[in-house]
Amino acid sequence: MTTRELDAAGIHEPALRAAYTACRRLNARHGKTYFLATRLLPVERRPAVHALYGFARWADDIVDDLDSGATPDERAHALRGLQERLDNGLRTGASTQPVIRSLIHTAAVYGIDHRHFAAFMTSMRSDLTVTGYASYEELGRYMHGSAAVIGLQMLPVLGTVGPLDEAAPYAAALGVAFQLSNFLRDVGEDLDRGRLYLPADLLAAHGVDRDYLEWSRATGRRDARITRAMQAAAAHNRCVYRTALPGLALLAPVSRPCIRTAFVLYSGILDAIEDDGYAVLHRRAVVPHGRRAAVALDGLVRALAARAAADGGRARPTRPATTAAPAPGDLARPVREEVA
């Protein structure tokens, strides 16, 4: 399948093919939900998604890998090295590092704004020193770089049925929604890393603070106040998903099944958390395999139908163009809407 993807994307130079193949392996190994959804894209668009994911995974591993044993100074040094390679590669259009080489090529082919990569690296550096957030507004400034710009990077690859600027706010919101789900699912593991992505004011509204979460994590004991705080975080996350939902219709038809599948699977994390009684401090909630398979099958049916329509000349997405980013912090603020 890798050869087919690279041939379809017009990637023929051996070193570049090897670079994209390395990114694909990263996606397959680490981003299982993301990789599953990517398989629903037309083959020629998949290598670019692998490149974007591979770079994000590399940076994230520098910051978060608990098994590496790296000290904070060593992580900071590694992240500076990645930043230098990125800056040099984007400036010169060349790199010997496979992930950077693939990213440079993808950015050039799809006209991805380099500022999105800069914003992402800013948030990664923040993770080395910032251990908590006072409010959703403060968290939103972090998530602009860690999540919203991922959606904006993806948008030119996916294509749209109208101007990219119209779809950009929805793509950014969806990136934020995905990450909020990951934050809630991984709150216990993040505490082990010394970080907390649930805003302090949300916790305080339910009579909870960080110390109490750490006590619950350490002892295995639960409390109704913690459960209510987690329920509030999930409700806010569902509101962000609803904000992003209209953007699916703005994507190129051949890309919609992929993003719809990711939408259903990631939002399904919230269902799994609810079904598990919001015990996220003590165990990771998992979307059941049967549910994942059913969603993937539905996505495949939709993808095949969309490709058949495109082959018949009934779908003509716009050419990729540079996307504009929404203001940092806008997307993670609480949405004043009740969950049905």
Least Cα distance to 203 among 143, 276, 281, 269 occurs for: 281
Contact indicator for 218, 153 with CB cutoff of 8 Å: no
Q: What is the 3-state secondary structure (H, E, C) of 216-245?
A: HHHHCCCCHHHHHHHHHHHHHHHHHHHHHH
Model pLDDT, residue 155: 97
Strand partners, 160: 251
Task: Map tokens 């440079």 to a residue.
Answer: 104
**What is the spatial distance between Cα 47 and Cα 9, in angstroms, rounded to a whole number?**
7
d(Cα 166, Cα 38) in Å, to the nearest integer? 23
Rounded to 10 degrees, the C-alpha dihedral 235/239/240/243 comes to 170
pLDDT at 66: 60
- pLDDT for residue 174: 97
Give the pLDDT score at 328.
Answer: 41
pLDDT at position 67 is: 66
Q: Structure pTM?
A: 0.88
How far, in Å, CA of 159 to CA of 171, rounded? Answer: 11
Contact 19, 30 (CB under 8 A): no
pLDDT in tens, the chain (340 residues): 589 999 999 999 999 999 999 999 888 887 677 788 888 899 999 999 999 999 999 998 898 876 667 888 899 999 999 999 999 999 999 999 999 999 999 999 999 999 999 999 999 999 999 999 999 999 999 999 999 999 999 999 999 999 999 999 999 999 999 999 999 999 999 999 899 999 999 999 999 999 999 999 999 999 999 999 999 999 999 999 999 999 999 999 999 999 999 999 999 999 999 999 999 999 999 988 888 888 888 888 888 888 888 877 544 444 444 444 444 445 444 333 323 2
For residue 244 the two structure tokens come to: 């992003």
- From first CA to last CA, the distance across the chain in angstroms is 42
Q: What is the pLDDT of residue 324?
A: 43
Query: Which amino acid is present at 138?
Result: E
Burial of 175 (0-12, 13-18, 19+ CB in 10 A): buried
pLDDT attached to residue 180? 98
